[in-house]
Amino acid sequence: MAELAAASALAGASSRAARGVRGDTPATCMVCGGQGHAGKACVVLGACLHRMTSAKADVVDIILQFLCDWSEACFDQEVRCVSVSPRGDVIAAGERGGSIQLVCTRTGEKSVLDGRHKEGHVLCVAWSPCGRMLASGGDDQIVYIWGDGSAGGVTNGRALGGHQSGITSVAWSPSAQKLASASYDESVRIWDSQSGVCESSLTGHTRAVTSLSWSRDGTVVSSSDDKTAKIWAVTASGQGKLKSTVTADGSISCVGFSPCGCNIAAACNDGFKDIYCVKIFRASGSAGTSPTFLCERTLSGHERCISPSFFSCLGFRISDMRVRMRSAVFSVAWAPDGSKIASGSYDKTVRVWDSISGECERILAGDKPVWSVAFSYADAVIAAGTGDLSRGGVRRYRYAPWRAREPVQQSCNAPAKESQDAVRPADGR
């Protein structure tokens, strides 16, 4: 009861700080004893979690519920992809019906983006680094770049055609001058985001390309159902050269460079071998040579449980036991500081991992499969796209193991150095 009282008092103080309540005496945190906390609820929570033990996990959950203005925005269709704007004020969500929803992170209000994909699912969305443009792709084989307006008013979709099958992933270069797209047609295309011209087509995968990610030096990594991830050096003119290939135990459904560009997280799945995990690959090799990525760590734990009643209805007699089935991992995302990795799975959970130790720090459970996860760079929030055949939604989890940082504003037209070299190994993360 004492812990619950402390949690309630902290939640009340945090809520007042978040609403901008002023006073001569700074609020005192009942858990960590700190004062002030810069008036940000996420910073309050971060200071408290830093001092709390695992025995107080229930108290943390109560605090999280108080600090979240909203936890889920519901839709009529399942949400296959999400992306948080750099400012953290808007979440873009792609629906199975072909529309793109924009969700205000402050209020949870929804608005439908003008225009839509012609048919099928929206499979990928991505905000540009400056937050003024949004890219999307889907089953209609078209890549769209939506307008040049503010985050809440992105309009005037521009269509980029050329892929021969559905678009599975889109990713912006650090300067936003290039856009990469992946497709079921086994290719990766590099586009000039201003002119819409396809500058190159990268081939080499033997099955569908499932995901893309840019590193900060302009290197691109692509994953595929052929159980490989390929690292490409992309020049300023958009031409790509294969630098190295990473081989996994199963098909790779999602891949992502760490913020430093020295590590790659990959979601690997193979139903025949019972492999459903996240693998972390680390670059090795000397400077000036093509890096070799070696598997440094495997993060396992996603699963879903089937109760005996399920088998009873099929005529099987199973008593006093539960049969566990591993569940596919669909999405991975790095925290802004590279210390955490989030993974979303068909087991209806988002798991937060420590990228150094590989330990699972939190399990964020929901009621629908999780198709996509994304961190916010502006505050300590994880967005998750969920859904099944009946309905979907965007869930928002507040999680603050790092101190929230102000987003770095960058002009979409400002030139940025995009090296032709592949990822260079480094000791730091």
The predicted-structure confidence for 47-85, as pLDDT tens digits, reads as follows 333 334 334 444 444 444 434 445 778 888 889 999 999
Same domain for 174 and 224: yes
Give the pTM: 0.74
The domain in which residue 194 lies consists of 73-398
Per the domain annotation, does 363 fall within a domain? yes
**Number of other residues whose CB lies within 10 A of the CB of residue 255:** 27
Query: How deeply is 320 buried, as exposed, middle or buried, from its count of CB atoms within 10 A (0-12, 13-18, 19+)?
Result: exposed
Same domain, 109 and 188: yes
50 and 96 in a common domain: no
Considering the domain architecture, whether residues 247 and 99 belong to the same structural domain is answered as: yes
Residues 143, 12, single domain; the answer is no
The tokens describing 28, both together, are: 């005192």
* Domain termination site, one of 16, 48, 67: 67
What's 187's domain CATH number? 2.130.10.10
- Whether 195 maps to a domain, the answer reads yes
Q: Which segments in the chain show pLDDT lower than 50? A: 1-69, 149-153, 307-325, 401-429
pLDDT of residue 407: 35
Is 405 domain-assigned? no
Q: For residue 289, what pLDDT is reported?
A: 66
Query: Within this chain, do residues 267 and 380 fall inside the same structural domain, yes or no?
Result: yes
What pLDDT does residue 321 have? Answer: 36
Residues 319, 377: one domain? yes
Residue 43 shares a structural domain with residue 84: no
Q: Is residue 358 part of a domain?
A: yes
In this prediction, residue 227 carries a pLDDT of 93
Say if 425 falls within a structural domain.
no
Domain contains 355 = yes
Residues 22 and 46 in one domain: yes
Residue 416 lies in a domain: no
Q: Do 301 and 276 share a domain, yes or no?
A: yes
**Number of independent structural domains in the chain:** 2
Backbone angles phi, psi at 410, to 5 degrees: -140, 135
Task: Using the 3D structure, point to which of 20, 45, 67 is the last residue of a domain.
Answer: 67
Return the pLDDT at 156.
Answer: 60
pLDDT at 263 (0 to 100): 93
Radius of gyration of the chain (CA): 22
Structural domain includes residue 349: yes
Domain final position from 17, 36, 67 = 67
Do 287 and 355 lie in one domain? The reply is: yes
Exposure string of 163-196, with b = 16+ CB inside 10 Å and e = fewer, is: beebbbbbbbbbbbbbbbbbbbbbbbbbbebeee
Does residue 57 sit in the same domain as residue 83?
Answer: no
Rounded to whole angstroms, the maximal C-alpha distance in the chain is: 69
